[in-house]
Structure 1
Amino acid sequence: MTSTLGANETAPADHAGRETVIAVNELTCTYGSGKNTYTAVDGSTFTVHRGEVYGLLGTNGAGKTSTLELLEGLAEPTSGTVSVLGRNPVTDRAELRPELGIMLQSGGLPSQLTVAETMRMWHGTCSTPRDIDVVLGEVGLNHRTDVKVGSLSGGEQRRLDLACALLGDPSVIFLDEPTTGLDPESRHNVWELLRGLKDRGVTMILTTHYLEEAEVLADRIAIMHRGRFAVEGTLPELIADAGSVIRFELDHNYPPLPELPGTSLTRDGRRVEITTSRLQADTRRILNWAAEHDLHLTAFAARPASLETVFLDIAGADAQSL
């Protein structure tokens, strides 16, 4: 891969010595004016390091896509700064473009071109293009080269969008909902492909509606809510303070539950839900209590804290739009 940094330039590094590829400081983006002003991104600050997959989550309208557009240089911030590989993605777009792979939420490729024609067209726009057949093989489309884009399934079109993003051998890739419309097998194949890119040192910004996708791929995750970063960190850091849940159903008449200090209890008819930070110990106490009283717990589940737990706690009612 080529580098857009000059001979005497180096990308900044953090205190741990990791190269900072993307640096964002107090980034703000607003639309409209006066009473009609809408703030899509509100003072975001974060960094992304070489070879890192950074997951950007949030409900629809939280500011994910607007943030990506600012990082990609497709829009200019209202205030704040963005640096990609030490350069401004708007004013230095020509120098940065060979390093970037961009997979938009909707590719908009010409529907009347075949897959092969589309790739040849894209190939001509790249400074250091890879072999077309190799890239199509990576995304599982090498058997569809003669098919028109408009005749591809939605999932196949997303894989073609990904192929175009990978064709220029980028060192930084922006992935906006990369596996939307893919069947489970194709989704897992794309995950393996992205893991391979990460192993080669490629840096990725990933937005996705699939929380499992972020859990599998992302080194760090930020959750946006109403234009702001609500939380940011590794998956273990994000779920450390989230509550695990024990659920079961019982007849209306049952003996008092055992004392479970530090838990939150919710009853809804026959359904009982307990939120706890001590899942194993409290699950054992509930099961022992049921055995002592010869009770049958139907629909029993003990679920550890997850990214979904964190997301729903932050998003609240907005989570319905996920």
Structure 2
Amino acid sequence: MNSPVIEVKSLWKTYGSTEAVKGIDLRVGSGEVFALLGPNGAGKSTTVEILEGHRTRDSGEVSVLGHDPARAEQRLRERIGIVLQRSGVEPYLTVEESVEMFRNYYPSPSPLDEVLEVTGLTELRRTRVRNLSGGQQRRLDVAIGLAGNPDLLFLDEPTTGFDPAARRNAWDMIRNLKALGKTVFLTTHYLDEAEQLSDRVAIIVRGEIARAGTTSEMTALGGTHISFRLARGGESLPPPFAGTLQPDGRYQLRSSAVTDDLHGLTTWARHMNCELIDLRVARRSLEDIYLELVGRESGAEA
């Protein structure tokens, strides 16, 4: 990994008798899109608030851009951008007036035209905030977060409530941020979003990091699924497929030796003159991994 923008070691936070964060470690490299995933109540929001400097920790080491956020140093504040689920913006201002107002708070702000371009708001620069769609308002929230030319951007649930087209536009915007060299710390409940955008992911469950790594590493750990239906009974299916019948009538195997298992299955089918219907071979998705971890370790809903 390149030099860390965020480094967390043994972070603990309790509320009374409730342990919200239990000794977690995190590293986020420069220029990465990093996603922290977890169900409600898992410690995700507490962790992010500690990183942003809005909540104190009980113990552990936290470094954000080389500073301890608990000290709330002005130098750190000027280098991070925070995009909440909803920013309070004056509805009668135009888009460019809104961004310009926030730019004036910083000593070295981002160029206005660059902010509008990267967030896809150039053609809307003279539109009043009250006339923006939900997706356009969300892009304005990000533009305001970029006003101070931050090195690190915290992005909270960027596409909640978006239609598919608006989500794709938001994804393109986040990719633009990465192209500019920004580090993005993303929280989202959309697992496909995290899989599409993130260089690395951590899943937090009950205050602990249940799994972390690149999306390809995490899905590879889950193995590959081979699934199919049979034209007739599969009582004599060979190992390891015997006993893999699911309630929906499909046979499904998590395989770590796909080529060998497929060879054995197709050889059996030819020998038995039995047709394999709707044969599928697919690597498990990040959502599959997430649901397995959340269900196994917390019993919480996604």
- Class of the TM-score when normalised by the shorter of the 2 chains: 0.7 to 0.9
Distance 2:8 2:54 in 1: 15
Query: 3-state SS of the aligned residue for 1:126?
Result: coil
Give the letter aligned to residue 309 of structure 1: D
Separation of aligned partners in 2, 1:156 and 1:21: 29
The residue number in structure 2 matching 1:233 is 213
| 8 A contact 2:4–2:29 mirrored in 1 | yes
Give the CA deviation at 1:88: 1.6
1:29 corresponds to which of 13, 16, 22: 13
Per-residue CA deviation, residues 54-113 of structure 1 (Å, 9 max, x unaligned), is 221112222222211110111111322321122121313312111111112332334454
Write the distance in 2 (CA, Å) between the matches of 1:154 and 1:319: 33
CA contact 2:195–2:286 (8 Å) conserved in 1: yes
1:1-322 alignment, distance < 5 Å: 18-31=2-15, 33=16, 37-250=17-230, 253-260=233-240, 265-268=244-247, 270-316=249-295, 321-322=301-302
CA spacing shift, 1:128–1:64, aligned 2, 3 Å: same
- Indicate the SS of the match to 1:267: coil
Structure-1-length-normalised TM-score? 0.81
**1:46 aligned counterpart, secondary structure:** strand
Structure 2 gaps, min length 5: none
Contact 1:62-1:224 within 8 A present in 2 as well: yes
Deviations 1:235-272 (A, max 9, x none): 333233313212223366344112228x9824326332
- TM-superposed deviation, 1:45: 1.5
Structure-2 separation of matches of 1:130 and 1:23: 26
Separation in 2 of the partners of 1:224 and 1:203?
20
Of 143-152 and 129-138, deviating more is 143-152
Once the two structures are TM-superposed, the CA of residue 163 in structure 1 deviates from its matched residue by 0.9
109-118 vs 53-62, which deviates more? 109-118
Query: Relative to structure 2, which stretch is displaced further, 109-118 or 217-226?
Result: 109-118
Instruction: State the Cα distance separating 1:229 from its structure 2 match.
Output: 0.4
Shift, 1:121, TM fit: 2.1
Distance 1:301 1:264, change over 3 A: same
Q: Secondary structure at the match of 1:268?
A: coil
Contact 2:120/2:173 (<8 A) preserved: no
Deviation at 1:129, TM superposition (A): 1.8
Contact 1:247/1:273 (8 A) holds in 2 = yes
Change (3 A) 1:111 1:51: same
Structure 1, residues 281-302: CA drift from partner, whole Å, max 9, x if none?
3234334433443434444322
Q: Which sits farther off after the overlay, 226-235 or 51-60? A: 51-60
In the TM superposition, residue 23 of structure 1 has moved relative to its aligned partner by: 1.7
> 2: distance between equivalents of 1:246 and 1:314?
21
Amino acid at match of 2:9: N
8 Å CA contact 1:99–1:171 kept in 2: the answer is yes
What TM-score results when the alignment is normalised by the length of structure 2? 0.86
Report the count of equivalent residues: 301
Aligned-pair identity (%): 41
CA distance in 2, matches of 1:150, 1:42: 43
Counterpart CA distance in 2 for 1:111 and 1:29 is 38
Matched to 2:21, the amino acid is: V
Using a 3 Å threshold, how does the CA distance of structure 1 residues 179 and 74 change in structure 2: closer, same or farther?
same
Contact map agreement 1:110 1:149 (CA 8 A) in 2: yes
C-alpha contact 2:118 2:176 (8 A) present in aligned 1: no
Q: 2:46 is matched by which residue type in structure 1?
A: S
Q: Distance in 2 between matches of 1:25 and 1:52?
A: 19
Conserved 8 A contact 1:155-1:180: no
Q: Corresponding residue for 1:4?
A: none
Change (3 A) 1:116 1:197: closer
Deviation of 1:320 after TM superposition, in Å, equals 7.0
